[in-house]
Amino acid sequence: MKRYVSGRLLQLIPVLFGVTFLTFALLSLAPGDPVQKKLSAQGIAVTKDVLLETRKEMGLDRPWTLRYASWLFDLLHGDLGDSYKDGTPVAGRLVKAMKYTGILAISAFLLALVISLPLGIYGGIKKAGFLDRMIQLFCLAGYAVPGFLLAVLLIYLFCIRLKVFPIIAKGTVQGLFLPTLTLALPLASRLTRQVRASVLNQMEMEYVDGAKARGVLKPYILIFHILRNAMISILTVFGLSIGTLLGGSVVIENIFMWPGMGKMVMDSITARDYPVVQGFVLVMAVIYVIINLIVDISYHLLDPRLEEI
């Protein structure tokens, strides 16, 4: 087990190298000039001399491969660099934004879980009943409606019509509700589908008939047989959905002005604030790999048929 985990963590090195290199290359090759953006944002008249001088000051006159190398060198010394825009350390900004994104992602995930588990299990057990059809309709709608549209609809309903929540969230508890709901609903529909399908699949297994034939009570069959075995496939989707949540929050955070990583990275891209984008990509890659690792390990804990790791 220890060897497996350390092996997987070692895989992080090539993954992170590849991801940061690609981002760096793409950002550098894309049109747009961070210096020009920075200067015009500060209201300084942009002349050629000023541009060249500032570029030299910021080290942007060197070729991007060299810049990547020095960024990597700094990273290995625990330094993520400073923001082009205001010179603050990237690490500090990331930590602050991560806190907000974390709150949003966790609350959305929990809400999705609370919605999808009971709905999925019920739909699986009472297949093709009236409620099951309603559940399927919900799933379909959740799939079909894009997040940004849902956000706008929710804003219209709760902020403009009912006037119960603020439009701009700004990191307050009250403002958390709408972005959470916007993120949770599509996710819940996806998870519900998966839970329902897994439960249905397990219900058809012969061992369930075997347990019924032995006269095992229904709650035991549901919890220890059907759910226990369905959990294995449900888990993957749950794990992967955390990744989607973090990615999906980029759009939602911008709509609701939630001060998380998504909003930060969008602002940074517009401002060509490369160090911040690099830091964001790095953190996301680490989170993805670790979540996948946790999912894989829990697989082995849930299904003894898989070989010892």
Partner 1 sequence: MSESVLSVKDLSVQYGSHKVLSNLSFEVNKGEIIGIVGESGCGKTTLLKALFPKRTTNLIISSGSILFEDQNLANADKKKAEELCGRGIGMIFQNPKASFNPIRTYKSQYIETLKSHGMYHKETFESLVLKTFERMNLTGGRELLESCPYEMSGGMNQRIAIALSILLKPRLLLLDEPTSALDVASGKLVMEELQRIRELTNTSIILVTHNMGLLSGVADKVGVINQGSLVEWGTVHKVFGSPEHSFTKTLLDAVPKLGIPERIEEENISDCILKLEEVSKEYKRKNSPFLALAKVGMEVKTGEILGVVGESGSGKSTLLNMIAGLCSPTDGSVIFKNRIMEKRRKRDDYCNVQMVFQHAAESFNPRHHIRKAMDKTLKNLCDLKSRAERNERINELMKRVDLSPDLADRYPWELSGGQCQRAAIARAISISPKLLLCDEITSALDVSVQKEIIDLLKKLVKETGMSVIFVSHDLLLVSSFCDTIMVLWNGECVEAAATRDIIKNPSQDYTKKLLKTARIDGSLYIGTD
Given the rule CB under 8 A, which residues bind partner 1? Answer: 206-207, 209-217, 220, 224-225, 228-229, 302-305, 307
Between 161 and 214, name the residue whose CB sits nearer to partner 1: 214
Between 115 and 234, name the residue whose CB sits nearer to partner 1: 234
Between 216 and 295, name the residue whose CB sits nearer to partner 1: 216
List the one residue out of 75, 130, 105, 21 whose CA is nearest residue 291: 105
Between 49 and 308, name the residue whose CB sits nearer to partner 1: 308
Distances (CA, A) of 153 to 112, 159, 178, 179, 213: 19, 10, 11, 12, 50
Minimum CB separation from partner 1 for residue 127, in Å?
Answer: 12
Minimum CB separation from partner 1 for residue 253, in Å?
Answer: 41
Long-range contacts of the stretch 121-130 (C-beta < 8 A, 24+)? 121/195, 121/196, 121/199, 121/222, 121/227, 123/192, 123/195, 123/196, 123/199, 124/195, 124/196, 124/197, 124/198, 124/199, 124/200, 124/203, 124/226, 124/230, 125/199, 125/203, 125/222, 127/200
Neighbours of 40 (CB within 10 A): 12
Residue 54 tokens read as 């500032």
Do 108 and 183 touch, CB atoms closer than 8 A?
yes
Between 210 and 247, name the residue whose CB sits nearer to partner 1: 210
Minimum CB separation from partner 1 for residue 223, in Å?
Answer: 10
Minimum CB separation from partner 1 for residue 126, in Å?
Answer: 14
Between 41 and 306, name the residue whose CB sits nearer to partner 1: 306
Minimum CB separation from partner 1 for residue 211, in Å?
Answer: 7
Do 56 and 37 touch, CB atoms closer than 8 A?
no
Minimum CB separation from partner 1 for residue 5, in Å?
Answer: 19
How many Å apart are CA 291 and CA 69, to the nearest integer? 28
Neighbours of 38 (CB within 10 A): 21
CA torsion sign for 248, 249, 250, 256 is positive
The values of phi and psi at residue 165, to 5°, are: -125, 150
How many Å apart are CA 89 and CA 82, to the nearest integer? 4
Minimum CB separation from partner 1 for residue 309, in Å?
Answer: 12
Do 274 and 27 touch, CB atoms closer than 8 A?
yes
Minimum CB separation from partner 1 for residue 213, in Å?
Answer: 4
Between 198 and 229, name the residue whose CB sits nearer to partner 1: 229
Between 156 and 220, name the residue whose CB sits nearer to partner 1: 220
How many Å apart are CA 24 and CA 38, to the nearest integer? 19
